[in-house]
Amino acid sequence: MKFKYLLISTLILAFFLKLNAQNSSKTDSLLRILKTAKEDEKKILLLYEIGLNFETTDLEKSKSYYRQARKLGKKIKYSLSEFKFISNYTFSLNMQGKLDSSLYWNLRGIEEAKKLKSDEYLAKAYFNTGTSYQYLTDYQSAVENYQKGLALFEKLDNELLKAQANDILNVLYTSMKNFKKAKKHGKLAVQQFQKLDQPQLYAYSLSNLGRVYGDSNQKDSSLIYHQQAEQIAKKINDEVLLATVNLNLGDVYLWKKRFETAKKHHETALQYARKNQLSDVESVALRGLSYYYMEKGDFEKSQEFAEKALEISQKNNLREEKVSNLNQMTALAYVSRDIDKAGEYEIQSKNLRDSILNDQIINATINTEKRFELDKKNTKLQLQEEKINRKNLLNWLLIGGLVALLTIAILGYRNYNHRKKIQEQKITELETEKQLLATQSLLKGQEEERTRIAKDLHDGLGGLLSGVKLQLGAMKGNLILTEENGNAFNRALNKLDESISEMRRVAHNMMPETLLKFGLQQALTDYSNGLSQGQYFTIDCEFFGVENRLENSVEIVVYRIVQELINNAVKHSEATKILVQVMRHDKEHLNITVEDNGKGFNFEEMKTKNSAGLQNIQSRVNYLNGKMDIQSEIGKGTSVYIECDLNQNG
């Protein structure tokens, strides 16, 4: 059972001097000072410092002090009041999973930063807004905001900002499942925060780096980083970080089947989550405890925790969490042999997944509309500025008399025609953009439908077959069978296992999700790693010139060609080493090479048999206007070389 690794961004926390958790005695001292403080700028900063100290123990109390600081700032007209409030307040909102509210405030933060005319504040506002978009899985908007922030940061020489930028890039690439780049930036962030002697930021970056290794199934490395983060979090008494780290540690120990240790960490995470109102952490922790009791055979206790997890996800509208909790309830229903109940949970899970997918499409449309409205607003502001400038110019020119007035009239007329042409041009551009968006939406809908069918196969039918397997396994223990019938029963279970594996393979082959999201290089790497894991053979992949995405149709065809060639080598060659090379020398030419050290075959005899596999490969090569050369000898392995002309294909 897979649990969600939780991630914490250090960006907002670090950008606004959230450096070290303060002990309770200092907090008490600050509260005493607050009682006699005058209503001035110093009191505002004091309120923010008190709120900062409560961020690691009580997020609601922290937010209350930030609101007090904002109210006082407005009263005394403190110039940084609104910007400081937004930067601190959104950190607490993110930690509580209130992501829509955080995005709303961060967008306002950009406008406030522009008023302050500070590159540093504006860069921080862009990064905080990018983080909000990232949490909402709108990666396009996240990248746009990060790029704007990075452009401004390049003007600033600050080691702390560089560390923060690396940490946020780690977070972004992890969310995009580009683990190679995520590890690169994550390691840099860890090293930089350690040198800067920033224990809290160092701990958060360790936790984020541990998440990368956990998501890429390098659990031992993940465990080391999370343990280091936990040690620091305990020293500085950061309860928010302790909640997340304990949850991630629980996931690692579940994977290692050290269930008692996993239980301890999930219980600790649950305690901190409830104290700090971290609803998403609470839901995952409850599900982890449900899984623990299911493994122990205490299905009644497991059901209790699963129901609590489902209730939390429903109450807080955590839809992804709700899907996972419904899947857990489905598994428990099958174990309890309540087929009808299991079917109900499966239907609820499927409907919710479909709803989430539809909402993602709607959100993408809304984001496009928001960008359009923002462009309209900027255009309106520009026109207003032009109007003001024109009026000022008119006032000066009126002094010059009739000649100046005539000149202004001529300029005004020309300016009117010019603006009219600009408006007509913009209308044309908007119509073109609208048509383009409609076409893109249609294509995207077609691809998503194929993906949805693959998911339904994997999650729906796969879950049902797994439930049947559990039932048959449970029945076996309650039946008295002869040795012959017992062997037959075991063979049936084995066949069921094979059916499940085959169904999942078909679902993945139907439309590999990694190919659509991250491109050909990542998809082939994941496929090769998954195929060779735990096997007697290894698959080495080398890529050159394919970092930039090819056309979607071309990537799918190339993926299918390499997939078929690898499968042939695995099934027939008895090879121990397989080499895959995909190289793009320029925009027009792409070369594919697949070699193995297997037993080889007589190619002339193979051609006479009209192999269906080779025919499929050849047809795809023809689609790419390519040529294929196969070299093989008995006992000397096989080499397949393909050269494609992408320009002709386009």
For 29-39, the pLDDT digits (tens) are 888 888 888 88
pLDDT at 125: 92
Assigned architecture for domain 515-649: 2-Layer Sandwich (3.30)
**Among 445-449, 478-482, 582-586, the least confident range:** 445-449
pLDDT per residue over 376-401, tens digit each?
Answer: 554 565 566 567 667 777 777 777 77
More confidently predicted of 611 and 198: 198
pLDDT per residue over 566-581, tens digit each?
Answer: 988 888 888 899 999 9
Q: Which residues contact 138 (CB under 8 A, 6 or more apart)?
A: 363, 364, 367
pLDDT band for 650, please (50, 70, 90 cuts). Answer: low
pLDDT band for 487, please (50, 70, 90 cuts). Answer: confident
Kindly state the average pLDDT of the residues 487-510: 74
pLDDT at 420: 81
pLDDT at 641: 93
Sheet of 538-544, strand order: 538-544, 577-584, 589-596, 638-645, 627-632
Is residue 565 scored above 50 in pLDDT? yes
pLDDT band for 209, please (50, 70, 90 cuts). Answer: very high
Please state, in angstroms and as integers, the Cα–Cα distance from residue 594 to each residue in 20, 471, 579, 611, following that order.
Answer: 54, 43, 6, 18
Mean of all residue pLDDT scores within the chain: 81
pLDDT at 638: 92
Is residue 23 scored above 60 in pLDDT? no
Kindly state the average pLDDT of the residues 165-183: 85
pLDDT at 389: 65
More confidently predicted of 583 and 153: 583
Assigned architecture for domain 1-156: Alpha Horseshoe (1.25)
d(C-alpha 409, C-alpha 624), whole Å: 62
pLDDT band for 560, please (50, 70, 90 cuts). Answer: confident
Residue with tokens 């099958």: 334
pLDDT per residue over 96-120, tens digit each?
Answer: 888 888 899 999 999 999 998 888 8
Is residue 18 scored above 50 in pLDDT? no
Q: Which residues contact 462 (CB under 8 A, 6 or more apart)?
A: 500, 503, 504, 507
Residue with tokens 């393979």: 505
Is residue 186 scored above 80 in pLDDT? yes
pLDDT at 104: 93
More confidently predicted of 15 and 552: 552
DSSP assignments along 481-546, one per residue: --HHHHHHHHHHHHHHHHHHHHHHHHHHHH--HHHHHH-HHHHHHHHHHHHHTTSS-EEEEEEES-
Token digits of residue 73: 């700032």
pLDDT band for 13, please (50, 70, 90 cuts). Answer: very low
d(C-alpha 287, C-alpha 305), whole Å: 6
Residue 583, classed as helix, strand or coil, is strand
Domain ranges of the chain: 1-156, 365-504, 515-649
**Among 267-281, 363-377, 493-507, 601-615, the least confident range:** 363-377
pLDDT at 432: 52
pLDDT per residue over 611-636, tens digit each?
Answer: 777 787 888 888 888 899 999 888 88
Residue with tokens 């990368």: 212
Is residue 502 scored above 80 in pLDDT? no
CA atoms within 13 A on the CB side of 492: 15
More confidently predicted of 636 and 150: 636
Is residue 264 scored above 80 in pLDDT? yes
pLDDT at 2: 39
pLDDT per residue over 420-475, tens digit each?
Answer: 888 888 787 777 566 535 434 543 454 456 566 766 666 666 667 777 777 777 77
Helix extents (H) in 55-138 = 59-76, 81-95, 99-116, 119-135
pLDDT at 510: 64
Q: Which residues contact 76 (CB under 8 A, 6 or more apart)?
A: 39, 40, 41, 44
Residue 584, classed as helix, strand or coil, is strand
pLDDT at 447: 47
More confidently predicted of 362 and 551: 551
DSSP assignments along 176-194, one per residue: TT-HHHHHHHHHHHHHHHH
More confidently predicted of 606 and 435: 606
pLDDT at 6: 47
Q: How many CB atoms lie within 10 A of CB 510?
A: 14
pLDDT at 119: 87
